[in-house]
Amino acid sequence: MRYTPLSKQFYTQARANLKAKLAPNSLVVLNSNDILPTNADGTMPFRQNNDLLYFTGIDQEETILLLMPDYPVESQREILFVKETSPLIAIWEGHKYTKQEARELSGIQTVYWVSEFEKVFNDLMVEAEHVYLNRNEHTRAVLDVETREDRFSKWCHTKYPDHSYKRLAPIMHQLRAVKHNEELAMLQKACDITEAGFRRVLKFVKPGVNQFEIEAEFLHEFVRNRSKGFAYQPIIGSGLDTCVLHYVDNDKVCHDGEVLLMDVAAEYGNYNADMTRVIPVNGRFTERQKQVYNAVLRVKNEATAMLRPGTIINDYHKEVGLVMEKELVALGLISKTDIKNQDPANPAYRKYFMHGTSHFLGLDVHDVGNFYAPITEGMVFTVEPGIYIPEEKIGVRIEDNIVVQKDTPFNLMRNIPIEADEIETLMHES
């Protein structure tokens, strides 16, 4: 395995935390993701269902987890199903988990081949009063493609129509939002790999390089440090492209005098970093570029200090907007008159700062969590304010990954260069 997984003690405790939140005599079902097709006989790289991974560590297709804490037979209260291998599969695809390997990783002692699922599942369903099914209920999810979980839900409702079905997603959003120390170590590793990529790029960037060459430098450093690669599709834009929030073409030449915005980060063990840094293509910010850069940095620092237990993220976003408002006035981009006459539903600052400041981070880049509940210790958020001025071809977004603590928030990206002067110095070192 490319990465070191979490301990079986973590997975065992995660399952115990879930069981404590279930209704009596309940059965939980979690399915792996599909291997998705491209064209002809091609497939995309496999990416495990994060909820299943969270409880088992099994990073392999055709995996199913059943949990029924109140089942009369103790050995059947936790059951893991994995794909049975064969000499043909071994030749064409390589190694698959043995039952013993699955036991050792997950801490689940009862392991069957997935071909045995229906018989075992039926035995449990006879005794179950409630069935928790898992669906993607992320607020920003695009659900055009039917998943394995979706197909299973249809099958289950058809075959067992008289059962009481419940949603697992709200419980998952509670559990996964608060990170265990082992998870924080995985996120720290992803951030450290991201740092290595950024420091490599600081030595590489100069006028005339192409955006995709910079992308390649990041990928080289990520993979050589045992990452699968990018945590998300990288954004590497220069000049006017810095003002396109989700610019992913990465196909233009970087010119002298431009700033370069890089929203790019590594994953490690399916945990994701999320970094944005802005650097001058020629190694020196202009006075105006540095003014904008430092304004964004001040907003980021103030926003970070606000991330304390009890904060409501939606309220926090409004407070950050007020901090940004002052900086935009100082930069001459909006006036006090603009603020006085603004539509409260569309504040004046949104002309130059049109996105939110923070989102949950973890197994998903935009991780699951409740934006309306008070945040608690152990949650991890991005902090990523930005100012985008298309008429000046200057876009600056600065982003770090922050752990909420009882007192001072902890920055997982504390070692990644961020001050304008430090960036300029590093770009000019031989």
155-191 pLDDT, tens digit per residue, is 999 999 999 999 999 999 999 999 999 999 999 999 9
Q: How far apart are CA 377 and CA 180, in angstroms?
A: 10
- Crossing angle of helices 8-19 and 99-106, in 10° steps, is 70
Of the candidates 299, 313, 25, 55, the one whose C-alpha atom is nearest the C-alpha of residue 176 is: 55
State the total domains in the chain. Answer: 2
149 shares its domain with 220: no
pLDDT tens-digit readout, 354-376: 999 999 999 999 999 999 999 99
Q: How far apart are CA 397 and CA 358, in angstroms?
A: 12
157 shares its domain with 264: no
268 shares its domain with 344: yes
Residue-level pLDDT at 315: 95
Residue 1 lies in a domain: no
59 shares its domain with 208: no
pLDDT tens-digit readout, 337-357: 999 999 999 999 999 999 999
- Taking the mean position of all CA atoms in its chain, how far away is CA 269? 12
Mean pLDDT for the stretch of residues 115-136: 97
Give residue for tokens 């879930």: 18
343 shares its domain with 360: yes
Give me the phi and psi of 170, to 5 degrees please.
-60, -35
173 shares its domain with 225: no
Kindly indicate the confidence band of residue 430, based on its pLDDT and cuts at 50, 70 and 90.
Answer: low
Of the candidates 235, 228, 218, the one whose C-alpha atom is nearest the C-alpha of residue 271 is: 228
Residue-level pLDDT at 143: 83
Average model confidence (pLDDT) across the chain: 97
pLDDT tens-digit readout, 367-426: 999 999 999 999 999 999 999 999 999 999 999 999 999 999 999 999 999 999 999 999
Range of the domain at 338: 181-428
Strand residues in 373-420 grouped as ranges (E): 380-383, 386-389, 394-397, 400-403, 410-411
Residue-level pLDDT at 390: 98
- Higher-scoring residue by pLDDT: 143, 232: 232
Residue 402 lies in a domain: yes
**3-state SS class at 348:** helix
Of the candidates 71, 46, 70, the one whose C-alpha atom is nearest the C-alpha of residue 60 is: 46
359 shares its domain with 228: yes
Residue-level pLDDT at 142: 85
Domain boundary residue, one of 145, 177, 209? 177
165 shares its domain with 186: no
Q: Residue 126, exposed/middle/buried by CB under 10 A (0-12, 13-18, 19+)?
A: exposed
Q: Do 357 and 316 contact (CB within 8 A), yes or no?
A: yes
Say which CATH number the domain at 100 has: 3.40.350.10
Domain boundary residue, one of 127, 158, 177? 177
Say which CATH number the domain at 384 has: 3.90.230.10
pLDDT tens-digit readout, 176-234: 999 999 999 999 999 999 999 999 999 999 999 999 999 999 999 999 999 999 999 99
pLDDT tens-digit readout, 245-298: 999 999 999 999 999 999 999 999 999 999 999 999 999 999 999 999 999 999
Domain boundary residue, one of 148, 177, 206? 177
